[in-house]
Amino acid sequence: MGNSLMDTYVQVFANRSVWMESAAIEQLHTTARNLQGIRAAVGLPDLHPGRGYPVGAAFFSTERFYPALVGGDIGCGMALHATSLKAHKTSPSKLEKALGVIDGPLPGVLLDEVDRAGLQALAQRSGVATADALLQSLGTIGGGNHFAELQAVDTLYEESALDKKCVYLMVHSGSRGLGGAILREHVERFNHGGLAAASPEADAYWQQHEAAIAYAQLNRRMIAQRMAKALRVELRQVLDISHNHVQRHDWRGQQGFLHRKGATPADEGLVVIPGSRGDYSYLVRPAADRDEALHSLAHGAGRKWARSDCMGRLRPRFSLTDLQQTRFDSTVVCADRELIYEEAPQAYKDVDGVVASLQEAGLLTLVARLKPLLTYKKGAMQCC
């Protein structure tokens, strides 16, 4: 049994400059209408169609919550670190050479730093993974739209918010296969019907969910440490924010559950909104006490084209070499031919329009704009 949209708050935040597929808006309305207990659904300007549910959206429900709305990459998010490297003392080519290939399991020097007992506890809480399996994936970026990017400060809107001389490291990754395994187990047992708030099944999912959130945070931290080790720099974390999760939440006097599927929290301090691999990223300050967007902001630029369309659209126009350089003269490290076309800047919305939509709605103020120096997605395969 679903809801009538008459008693469900549905809102999309996007100005006229933002590309918005009608299919994404239809998915938002369908989800709000068909899932029992949904009281509010918000599409951010990065809204785009997903597998069954839209990405770039937040949903508030009462009495039930929906693991399928969170999706498989539980805990996926963005971390931003200041490094001790100075922007004027490096270049994309130097960074690429120093990094080398950072795929695969962690090197021994970093493995020694891993809390094995803590990893074992996460595996047990997840109920679907072993500590050895988690260790194999730890410190790896993954595929899809995940990346690690070294950035320079382009513009400061708040003086002293960042050090303009520093190189910054942004990491976008999640719980790797762990969240997907949790979701598969859930869907096999409960399909997409959600869980009653106070049920034993809900309590069991919360344990799994929190394990995936913790593992995703640990994974981002180890990716950053791995890169710092290769570059021989020190790190200071600026923020780490998840954009795929569900949490208990009060909204307009109602107690319930806030699901974010590709939506950044607006109630946890500064957040970063990245563009595509050839665009700016924005550090922003969410406006306080604004509930019309379900206390959420865009998590990035958002896709404009489906992955399956990218090779056909772009291959006649751009070579692999073309897509390994950006308009900023930054470098994109991606040895996967199909992936580099799927993740080309042209496949994404304009991040300036996405951020401007939220700014015009009074949902944020600008803190800084960063530009890419090097984006790492997947290194060259090492021979035998």
Q: Is 232 left (phi over 0), alpha (psi -120 to 50) or beta?
A: left
Q: Of the residues 186, 245, 249, 299, which is catalytic?
A: 299
Residue at token pair 């073309």:
322
Residue 80 CB burial class (10 angstroms; 0-12, 13-18, ≥19) = buried
User: Cβ contacts of residue 112 below 8 Å, gap of 6+?
Assistant: none
CA distance 162 to 160: 5
Asked if 52 contacts 35 with a C-beta cutoff of 8 angstroms, the reply is no
- Is 88 one of the annotated active-site residues of the chain? no
- Tell me if 260 sits within 8 A of 109, measured CB to CB: no
CA pair distance 58, 41, nearest whole angstrom:
6
Q: Token pair of 109, please?
A: 């020097």
3-state class (DSSP) for residue 369: strand
Contact between residue 23 and residue 362 where contact means Cβ atoms under 8 Å apart: no
- Type of residue numbered 231: L
Collect all residues with Cβ–Cβ distance below 8 Å to 141 and sequence separation of at least 6. 102, 103, 147, 148, 171, 173, 223, 376, 377, 378
- Interatomic CA distance for residues 144 and 223, integer angstroms: 16
Query: Cα angle vertex 298, ends 262, 300, to 5°?
Result: 80
Q: Active-site positions? A: 299
